[in-house]
Amino acid sequence: MPAKTDVVSNEIKLQLYSLLYKTRATEDRIIALYRQGRIMGGVYTGRGVEATTVAAGLALEKQDYLFPIHRDLGAHLAKGQSVLNILLQYLGRGNSLTKGKDSGIHMSDTTLNIIGNVSHLGAMIPVAVGVAMAKKMQNEKVVTLNFIGEGGSNIGDFHEGLNFAAVHKAPFVLVIENNQYAYSTPAHKEYVCNRLSDRAQGYGIPGYHIDGTDALGVYATIKKAIEDARNGKGPSLIECLSMRMVGHSAHDDAFYVDKEQMKKYEKKDPFLRLEQVLRKEGLLDDKQIKRIQDTIDKEIEQATDIALNSPLPEAHWAAEGVYAE
Ligand X SMILES: Cc1ncc(C[n+]2csc(CCOP(=O)(O)OP(=O)(O)O)c2C)c(N)n1
Q: Catalytic pick from 29, 106, 199, 248? A: 248
Residue 141, number of CB atoms within 10 A of its CB: 14
Q: Does 183 bind ligand X (CB under 6 A)?
A: yes
- Binding to ligand X by residue 177, rule CB under 6 A? yes
Contact status: 181 vs ligand X (CB under 6 A): yes
Among 50, 109, 150, 269, binds ligand X (CB under 6 A): 150
Least Cβ distance, residue 278 to ligand X (angstroms):
27
Rg (CA), the chain: 19
Q: Is 251 a catalytic residue?
A: no
Distance CA(218)–CA(55), nearest Å, equals 6
Task: Tell whether residue 48 is a contact of ligand X (CB under 6 A).
Answer: no
Containing H/E element for 133? Answer: helix 124-137
Residue numbers 246-265 binding ligand X by CB under 6 A: 248
135 touches ligand X by CB under 6 A: no
Draw the binding track, 99-128, toward ligand X (x: CB under 6 A; -: no contact).
--------------------xxx-------
Question: Residue 246 and residue 255: Cα distance in Å, rounded?
Answer: 10
Q: Is 29 a catalytic residue?
A: no
Cα separation, 259 vs 109, whole angstroms: 38
Tell me how far CA of residue 237 lies from CA of 50, 55, 178, 229, 308, in angstroms.
19, 15, 12, 11, 40
| Residue 152 engages ligand X in binding (rule: CB under 6 A) | yes
Count the neighbouring beta carbons within 10 Å of the beta carbon of residue 49. Answer: 27
Hey, how many other C-beta atoms are within 10 angstroms of the C-beta on 226?
22
Taking CB under 6 A as the binding criterion, the range among 164-172, 178-186, 191-199, 225-233 that sits at the site for ligand X is 178-186
Site for ligand X in 64-83 (CB under 6 A): 71
Q: Do the beta carbons of residue 237 and residue 208 sit within 8 Å? A: yes
| Residue 47 a catalytic site member | no
Applying the rule CB under 6 A, the residues between 221 and 250 that interact with ligand X are 244, 248
Active site members: 244, 248, 256
Footprint of ligand X (CB under 6 A): 71, 119-121, 149-152, 155, 177, 179, 181-183, 244, 248
